[in-house]
Amino acid sequence: MMPQLLTVRVERPDGRPVRVRVPVLPVIVVLSPVVVLVALVAAVACLVHRVSVVRAFGTGWRIVSALPGTRVDIAQGRTAVLVAIR
């Protein structure tokens, strides 16, 4: 299943958190021309390096499908960033 929501929370040094929720599907629709261009470049790169295009895209899809439930926490001093993919 494709990720549906990306949540980014930044805790500032002053203690006030900033939370941003980004729906993934509308972003992909808006960026679809870029996604198509990246897919074409990736296919050409696969052909140049003699990698199976179907297998490469299948692996990429499996990675994207495994993203829901991923959490990334980064803390530096009094600033912290949390990224959660649902």
- At residue 19, does pLDDT exceed 80? yes
Cβ burial of 55 (10 Å; 0-12, 13-18, 19+) is: exposed
Place of tokens 């941003």: 20
Beta strands in the chain (DSSP E): 5-11, 17-23, 71-76, 79-85
**Percentage with pLDDT > 70 across the chain:** 100
Q: How many residues does the chain have?
A: 86
- At residue 62, does pLDDT exceed 90? yes
- At residue 1, does pLDDT exceed 80? no
Alpha carbon distance 8, 28 (integer Å):
17
